[in-house]
């Protein structure tokens, strides 16, 4: 019998702890437990045998830490020895299973840590390939603290696991979150999207403390749920540390978990064969509950899930270059700052999901989309909608996305379905399906419904259920076709209410070609919501749209006690008074731009810059107001009358004013000629200091290319050559990474000697800087600015 069919019809009894058992058997401190697969095979085999004897249906081979980071070239040897131990313990029994045990790498993935996602996939892949080769029946990935690392492991299991079943369990704290923030619902959505055969939680807590997370997982999971608690918490008794839940109490508490519907139970740290023997009694008396398919349409970020079909979901449309000059320019320059600003402001305005589209003919879309998705995920925890017509870009973004994405879009075109559905199947995702096909967009609701049915049928072939499809019935310009609104709404009503599938609309298209588009958009939005719209792609900055949304939710019972409506309504002015108060605001804005920058007043600085631009050319605003203000603050910092956060508040106010100037006049940003490449060197992941230097240099009008942190010498030198940088700024905070700084400078001197090197960071001083060959040591950000100003004069004159 294979594991999958056993799981389908039985409660699976897993084993208990291996690590604590090995310690009891004499594993010395400091020795890796997996070594014993080779050196003490009989002990490892004995532990497995004891678990089988106690009634376990499955044991985990002793491979928790068996990865190439720890064992290098011996990885395969250790794993094959581990599986051999488990097989010896199993003997000829055919209904007992052996799992490859896959624990975390021990490293945190970027952006929080320094391990690259693909590197993690490779590390897991090597372990998994070895386990499959050695004859494991399934792959159990466990004790995962980070959803992103878990995703890397599951992908590796799919790519290297020869089709073996995959079970994945996470660690949750008492706060019902994984260490890097994921909720149980986010973990379930992501793991089910990736196609695991069972999922659940292990370690960290005892059975009673796991109940809240178990309940939440069972409520949303459509695959069997696995629960492996610790034997309670470690406690000191008579000078010894012991786990505080005994075998009988453990089984009693697990009884409740089983009754809730868990399908595989076992133990983690501190449990022994005696615990498993108690669970065996429990299991023998219970009958397996049927696994209910929940049919939820869910997507997730790395923290939380968003469901479709309840309160309508708002998808922010602002990160899309169509018709947006400023965004196009930002994308071409590789300037992510603008995009990140849009992401955060839409989140603040109430969007639930953000659309990300970077499609421009002149850029490398797969690379830029992947980067945009990763960067946006560092500033917002909203789930993203990956919006592209390029399957290569879609795949790269879906692969790197942390969570289960929404994908925009598939359609009834065969070629598109052939490209998109395999990606949705592999990486997990809900997908927006446009009701159009090779013959174009049907004029009528009926035509669109027919295409929707065709799309569902095709998705079914891939094993993608209707819960992962959201139909967009296409809002077309009502100015061109008077029946446009009716066709879209007629189709969506049928799809939602008769076919039982969720719907979405790009609402603003409806008003194309008309003046005051918000009026039409918000009324159409209300009509669509009332007809059963599940999600809408809108501009969250539009007060009209948010007004309609909040009112609709209050009127249709999605907003209990109208609390959200009341909060919203009290925060905005009724349109009748809006005109009056606008005048007032203008009167209040008498503070000069210079004053606003000095005081670090960001919003006021923006307003003041807008005001000045009406009468002054941009360069006068920069040189007459912003730079003098920055100088004053900079001198204050140098003389210690002000301290760092104040300097930075001013820098931010200045940046905000610059942004106003930039969007008013394309290319008005850089008043200096010097170009600076800046990076934190290889091995070092501190970047706040470097970011401060970047911000101030940009404030002063220098063009800065920021390569980030942990950057190899080669990448720094190549970039400097590529852009013709006059200055290369390097930061290091640790004595250990000053060596990479020295290497970077050496490589620069060899290949690009004209660049001046500017170095800084906590461990450096002027003397040390000279020793490693740097041209200049700057003790803080202001000194970096002064140095670049001096060079500007030397190289380009005043």
Select from 208, 734, 746, 747 the one that contacts another protein (CB under 8 A).
734
Residue written as tokens 């990865």?
67
Work out how close the CB of 107 gets to another protein at its nearest, in angstroms, rounded to a whole number: 5
Spatial CA neighbour of 179 closest among 208, 148, 155, 209:
148
The answer to whether the Cα torsion of 676, 677, 683, 686 is positive or negative is positive
**Binding segment for another protein among 83-91, 125-133, 352-360, 683-691 (CB under 8 A)?**
683-691
Residue 695 near another protein by CB under 8 A: yes
Residue written as tokens 């020295």?
742
Distances (CA, A) of 457 to 408, 415, 460, 462: 19, 15, 5, 9
Give phi and psi for 637, each to the nearest 5.
-65, -45
Q: What are the start-end ranges of the H helices in 137-203? A: 147-160, 184-193
Select from 687, 704, 748, 787 the one that contacts another protein (CB under 8 A).
687
Select from 335, 518, 652, 751 the one that contacts another protein (CB under 8 A).
652
Select from 379, 450, 477, 569 the one that contacts another protein (CB under 8 A).
379
Q: Fill in the per-residue mask, 308 to 337: x = in contact with another protein (CB under 8 A), - = not in contact.
A: ----------------------------xx
Residue 711 near another protein by CB under 8 A: no
Using the minimum distance from each CB to another protein, give the nearer residue, 493 or 690: 690
**Which 3-state string (H, E, C) describes 717-744?**
HHHHHHHCCCEEEEECCCHHHHHHHHHH
Residue 560 near another protein by CB under 8 A: no
DSSP 656: H
Select from 38, 41, 176, 179 the one that contacts another protein (CB under 8 A).
179
Residue 786 near another protein by CB under 8 A: no
d(CA 760, CA 691): 12
Select from 295, 444, 641, 663 the one that contacts another protein (CB under 8 A).
641
Work out how close the CB of 236 gets to another protein at its nearest, in angstroms, rounded to a whole number: 7
Work out how close the CB of 212 gets to another protein at its nearest, in angstroms, rounded to a whole number: 16
Which residues in 421-459 are b (16+ Cβ under 10 Å) and which e?
bebbbbbbbbbbbbbbbeeebbeebebbbbbbebbbebb
Using the minimum distance from each CB to another protein, give the nearer residue, 140 or 695: 695
Residue 288 near another protein by CB under 8 A: no
Work out how close the CB of 518 gets to another protein at its nearest, in angstroms, rounded to a whole number: 28
How long, in residues, is the chain? 798
d(CA 409, CA 393): 12
d(CA 241, CA 141): 28
**Binding segment for another protein among 150-158, 363-371, 536-544, 682-690 (CB under 8 A)?**
682-690
d(CA 344, CA 297): 25
DSSP 229: -
Residue 180 near another protein by CB under 8 A: yes
**Cross-strand bridge partners of residue 676:** 704, 727
Work out how close the CB of 372 gets to another protein at its nearest, in angstroms, rounded to a whole number: 13
Residue 113 near another protein by CB under 8 A: yes
Using the minimum distance from each CB to another protein, give the nearer residue, 114 or 783: 114
Work out how close the CB of 775 gets to another protein at its nearest, in angstroms, rounded to a whole number: 25
Q: Are 724 and 755 in contact (CB under 8 A)?
A: no
Residue 453 near another protein by CB under 8 A: no
Residue written as tokens 């993203």?
384
Work out how close the CB of 230 gets to another protein at its nearest, in angstroms, rounded to a whole number: 10
**Cross-strand bridge partners of residue 298:** 307
Residue 202 near another protein by CB under 8 A: no
Work out how close the CB of 650 gets to another protein at its nearest, in angstroms, rounded to a whole number: 9
Residue 106 near another protein by CB under 8 A: yes
Using the minimum distance from each CB to another protein, give the nearer residue, 308 or 338: 338
- The DSSP element (H or E) to which 745 belongs, if any, is helix 735-751
Spatial CA neighbour of 227 closest among 254, 252, 248, 204:
254
- In sequence order, which residues have a C-beta less than 8 Å from that of residue 298 and are 6 or more positions away? 185, 188, 189, 220, 305, 306, 307, 308, 404, 430
Cβ-in-10-Å burial (0-12, 13-18, 19+) of 722 comes to: exposed
Work out how close the CB of 679 gets to another protein at its nearest, in angstroms, rounded to a whole number: 14
Work out how close the CB of 654 gets to another protein at its nearest, in angstroms, rounded to a whole number: 12
Residue 112 near another protein by CB under 8 A: yes
Q: Fill in the per-residue mask, 589 to 608: x = in contact with another protein (CB under 8 A), - = not in contact.
A: ----------xx--------
Residue 638 near another protein by CB under 8 A: no
Residue 363 near another protein by CB under 8 A: no
d(CA 45, CA 22): 11
**Cross-strand bridge partners of residue 681:** 711
Residue 292 near another protein by CB under 8 A: no
Select from 173, 589, 617, 724 the one that contacts another protein (CB under 8 A).
173
DSSP 474: -
Residue 29 near another protein by CB under 8 A: yes
Spatial CA neighbour of 194 closest among 227, 224, 167:
167
Work out how close the CB of 379 gets to another protein at its nearest, in angstroms, rounded to a whole number: 5
Using the minimum distance from each CB to another protein, give the nearer residue, 30 or 588: 30
- In sequence order, which residues have a C-beta less than 8 Å from that of residue 550 and are 6 or more positions away? 559, 564, 565, 568, 569
Spatial CA neighbour of 689 closest among 594, 767, 794, 780:
780
What is the tally of helices (H) and strands (E) in the chain?
33, 25
Residue 99 near another protein by CB under 8 A: no
Residue written as tokens 């598109």?
416
Select from 10, 389, 592, 646 the one that contacts another protein (CB under 8 A).
646
- The number of residues that bind another protein (CB under 8 A) is 68
DSSP 34: G
Select from 46, 135, 195, 341 the one that contacts another protein (CB under 8 A).
341
Give phi and psi for 58, each to the nearest 5.
-145, 140
Q: Any long-range contacts for 512-515 (C-beta under 8 Å, 24+ apart)?
A: 512/477, 512/479, 512/480, 513/477, 513/479, 513/480, 514/478, 514/479
Work out how close the CB of 353 gets to another protein at its nearest, in angstroms, rounded to a whole number: 18
Residue 212 near another protein by CB under 8 A: no
Residue 22 near another protein by CB under 8 A: no
Applying CB under 8 A, which residues contact another protein? 19-20, 23, 29-30, 32, 103-104, 106-108, 111-114, 143, 145-146, 171, 173-175, 177, 179-181, 203, 233-236, 239, 241-242, 269, 336-337, 340-341, 344, 375, 378-380, 599-600, 640-646, 648-649, 651-652, 683-685, 687-688, 691-692, 695, 734, 736-737
């Amino acid at each position: 019998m294979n594991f999958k069919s056993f799981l389908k019809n039985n409660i699976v009894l897993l084993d208990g702890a291996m690590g604590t058992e090995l310690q009891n058997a004499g594993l010395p401190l400091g020795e890796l437990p997996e070594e014993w697969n080779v050196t003490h095979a009989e002990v490892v085999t004995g532990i497995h045998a004891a678990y089988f004897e106690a009634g376990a249906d499955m044991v985990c081979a002793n491979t928790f830490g068996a990865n190439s980071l720890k064992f290098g070239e011996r990885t395969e040897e250790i794993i094959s020895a581990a599986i051999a131990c488990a097989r010896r313990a199993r003997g000829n029994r055919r209904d007992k299973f052996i799992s490859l045990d896959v624990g975390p790498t021990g490293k945190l993935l970027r952006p929080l840590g320094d391990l690259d996602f693909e590197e993690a996939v490779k590390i897991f892949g090597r372990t998994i390939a070895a386990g499959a080769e050695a004859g494991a029946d399934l792959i159990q990935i466990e004790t995962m603290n980070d959803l992103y690392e878990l995703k890397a492991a599951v992908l590796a299991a799919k790519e290297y696991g020869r089709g073996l079943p995959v079970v994945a369990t996470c660690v949750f704290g008492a706060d019902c979150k994984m260490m890097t923030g994921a909720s149980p619902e986010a973990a379930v959505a992501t793991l089910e999207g990736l196609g695991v055969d069972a999922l659940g939680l292990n370690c960290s807590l005892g059975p009673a403390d796991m109940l809240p997370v178990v309940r939440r997982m069972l409520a949303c999971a459509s695959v069997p749920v696995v629960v492996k608690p610790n034997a309670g918490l470690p406690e000191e008794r008579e000078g010894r540390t012991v786990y505080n839940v005994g075998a009988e109490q453990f089984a009693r508490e697990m009884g409740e978990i089983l009754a809730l519907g868990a399908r595989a139970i076992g133990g983690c740290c501190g449990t022994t064969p005696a615990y498993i023997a108690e669970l065996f009694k429990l299991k023998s008396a219970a009958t397996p509950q049927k696994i209910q398919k929940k049919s939820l349409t869910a997507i997730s970020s790395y923290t939380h899930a968003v469901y479709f079909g309840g309160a309508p979901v708002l998808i922010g449309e602002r990160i899309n270059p169509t018709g947006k000059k400023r965004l196009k320019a930002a994308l071409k320059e590789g300037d992510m700052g603008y995009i990140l600003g849009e992401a955060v402001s839409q989140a603040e305005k109430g969007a639930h999901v953000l659309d990300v589209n970077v499609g421009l003919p002149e850029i490398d879309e797969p690379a830029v989309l992947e980067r945009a998705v990763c960067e946006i995920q560092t500033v917002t925890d909203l789930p993203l909608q990956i919006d592209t017509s390029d399957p290569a870009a879609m795949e790269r973004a879906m692969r790197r996305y942390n969570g289960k994405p929404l994908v925009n879009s598939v359609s009834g075109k065969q070629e598109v379905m052939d490209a998109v559905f395999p990606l949705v199947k592999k990486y997990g995702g809900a997908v927006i399906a446009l009701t159009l096909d090779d013959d174009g967009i049907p004029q009528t609701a009926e035509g669109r419904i027919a295409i929707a049915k065709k799309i569902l049928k095709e998705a079914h072939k891939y094993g993608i259920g209707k819960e992962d499809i959201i139909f967009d019935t296409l809002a077309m310009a009502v100015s061109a076709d008077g029946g446009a609104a009716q066709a879209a709404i007629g189709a969506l009503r049928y799809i939602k209410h008769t076919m039982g599938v969720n719907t979405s609309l790009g609402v603003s298209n409806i008003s194309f070609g008309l003046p005051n588009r918000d009026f039409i958009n918000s009324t159409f939005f209300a009509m669509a919501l009332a007809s059963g719209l599940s999600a809408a792609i809108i501009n969250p900055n539009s007060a009209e749209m948010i007004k309609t949304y909040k009112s609709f939710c209050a009127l249709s019972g999605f907003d209990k006690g109208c609390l959200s409506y009341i909060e919203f309504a009290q925060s905005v002015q009724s349109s009748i008074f809006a005109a009056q108060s606008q005048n007032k605001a203008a009167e209040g804005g008498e503070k000069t731009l210079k004053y606003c920058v000095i005081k670090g007043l960001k919003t006021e600085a923006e307003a003041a810059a807008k005001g000045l631009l009406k009468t002054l050319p941009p360069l006068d605003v920069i040189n007459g107001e912003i730079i003098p203000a920055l100088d004053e603050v900079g001198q204050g910092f140098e003389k210690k009358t002000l301290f760092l956060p104040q300097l930075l508040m001013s820098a931010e106010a200045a940046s905000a004013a610059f942004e106003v100037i930039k969007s008013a006049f394309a290319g008005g940003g850089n008043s200096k000629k010097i170009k600076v490449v800046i990076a934190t060197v290889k091995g070092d992941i501190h970047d706040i200091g470097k970011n401060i230097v970047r911000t101030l240099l940009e404030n002063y009008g220098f063009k800065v290319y920021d390569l980030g942190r942990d950057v190899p010498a080669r990448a720094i030198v190549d970039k400097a050559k590529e852009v013709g940088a006059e200055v290369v700024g390097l930061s290091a905070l640790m004595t250990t990474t000053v060596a990479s700084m020295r290497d970077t400078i050496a490589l620069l001197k060899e290949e690009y000697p004209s660049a001046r090197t500017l170095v800084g960071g906590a461990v450096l001083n002027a003397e040390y800087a000279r020793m490693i060959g740097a041209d200049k040591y700057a003790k803080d950000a202001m000194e970096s600015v002064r140095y670049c100003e001096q060079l500007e004069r030397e190289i380009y004159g005043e």
